Amino acid sequence: MGFSAIFITKFSLGLVVTFANTEFAYNNLRFGYTCFLNATDFCIAKNKKMKITITGSLGNISKPLTKDLVQKGHEVTVISSKAERAKDIEAIGAKAAIGTMENTDFLAATFKDADVVYAMETLGNPRAFFDHDLDVTAAITEIGKNYKQAIEQSGAKKVIHLSSIGAHTNKGNGLLAFHYNVENILNELPGDVSVKFMRPVGFYYNMFAFIPTIKSHNAIFSNYGGDEIEPWVSPIDIASVISEEIEKPFHGRSIRYIASDELSTNEVAEILGNAIGKPDLKWIVIPDEQLLNNLLSAGMNPQTAKLFVEMNASRRGSVLYEDYFQHKPILGKTKVKDFAKEFAVMYNQ
């Protein structure tokens, strides 16, 4: 049986045929691509049912990710901090594991036997930035340490880590330095643990924070902006990249940036303005000090506010995007124009 015959059989007829013990034997763990000799990097383990543990509950990324993985036939366990979430997790066909990212033994038990672990860090309290007793950088870094310990304890060998734009440095990027810290912690894992670092850019949903000043001043105020190009991303596109990476081979450590659209902030203001019936909506750049004062007046933790201002300032002159622009991804399909419809619904609520 020659190579071309196998190719025709699988691609033209869509049949799964095993040609065991031939030079071009079809590896039936991998479906949909020709898998022979050393070409396994081009193969996707599509029909191999995997056990996958997902952190981030039914959050913006984890919910579409879980739905997709369940639909692909995988056995998915979803970690949530709240017992009442279990029924929603089970309703989409996954198993619920109730516990927190702060509990290393719980994480280790939940990661045990997982073929792939998806690990993300977040802080349970949505008002965390306003907690004057909380060091956000230290708290997230601590979760990174928990993940490292839990991965080692559990024996998990394949990890997808939700990192971020800005994780390439801890200099001048404010809050984003915690992603640098966590990547470095996970990079200390033994060499037989493969880690894929996902670095999405700024999420579309951050734009919901613009609503109050659009309503009060018909403007968006920040310490960056103008005609410079900014990348943005949809959590749906992030979920789809992660789902794809879960099924692809793992080798050592790798980094992948994720973005959906690239537009200037002036263009963003125009699109959002048109979507909400305010075509004259403006994006106005204010000095760092003014933004800091605004955040402090709103009650933000002073240290967090300073890091927030620094993070946004690093967008000016694309300092934040230095590494991104050298490793630009193919853009996802959800554009700012698509998000603008969701934004309008939220704006009008």
Ligand X SMILES: NC(=O)c1ccc[n+]([C@@H]2O[C@H](COP(=O)([O-])OP(=O)(O)OC[C@H]3O[C@@H](n4cnc5c(N)ncnc54)[C@H](OP(=O)(O)O)[C@@H]3O)[C@@H](O)[C@H]2O)c1
Give me the residues that bind ligand X (CB under 6 A), please. 56-57, 59-62, 79-82, 85, 100-102, 120-122, 124, 162, 164, 200, 202-203, 206, 235
Choose between 57 and 312: whose C-beta lies nearer to ligand X: 57
Query: CB 192 → ligand X: shortest distance, Å?
Result: 26
Choose between 62 and 194: whose C-beta lies nearer to ligand X: 62
- Residue 159 CB partners (closer than 8 Å, separation 6+): 116, 117, 118, 119, 151, 186, 189, 193, 194, 195, 196
Choose between 164 and 312: whose C-beta lies nearer to ligand X: 164
Residue 76: both structure tokens together: 């998915």
Choose between 235 and 332: whose C-beta lies nearer to ligand X: 235
Query: CB 5 → ligand X: shortest distance, Å?
Result: 46
Order of strands across the sheet with 229-233? 202-203, 229-233, 261-264
Query: CB 329 → ligand X: shortest distance, Å?
Result: 14
Residue 145 near residue 181 (C-beta atoms within 8 A): no
How far, in Å, are 165, 263, 268, 282, 320 from residue 317 at the CA level? Answer: 15, 14, 18, 20, 8
Q: Is 118 helix (H, G, I), strand (E, B) or coil?
A: strand
Query: CB 28 → ligand X: shortest distance, Å?
Result: 34
Query: CB 204 → ligand X: shortest distance, Å?
Result: 9
Choose between 46 and 328: whose C-beta lies nearer to ligand X: 328
What totals of helices (H) and strands (E) does the chain contain, helices first? 13, 12
Choose between 97 and 271: whose C-beta lies nearer to ligand X: 97
Name the residue among 87, 77, 88 with its Cα closest to residue 110: 77
Choose between 101 and 160: whose C-beta lies nearer to ligand X: 101
C-alpha to C-alpha distance for 145 and 149, rounded to whole angstroms: 6
The closest residue (CB) to ligand X is 59
Q: Is 162 helix (H, G, I), strand (E, B) or coil?
A: strand
Query: CB 227 → ligand X: shortest distance, Å?
Result: 21
- Residue 347 CB partners (closer than 8 Å, separation 6+): 211, 214, 215, 275, 276
Query: CB 39 → ligand X: shortest distance, Å?
Result: 33
Going through 153-307 in order, the beta strands assigned E by DSSP cover: 158-162, 194-200, 202-203, 219-222, 229-233, 253-258, 261-264, 282-285
How far, in Å, are 76, 143, 180 from residue 148 at the CA level? Answer: 21, 9, 14
Query: CB 214 → ligand X: shortest distance, Å?
Result: 19
Q: Dihedrals φ, ψ of 229, to 5°?
A: -75, 135
- Residue 348 CB partners (closer than 8 Å, separation 6+): 276
Which residue type occupies 141? T
Choose between 6 and 107: whose C-beta lies nearer to ligand X: 107
Choose between 59 and 172: whose C-beta lies nearer to ligand X: 59
Query: CB 61 → ligand X: shortest distance, Å?
Result: 3
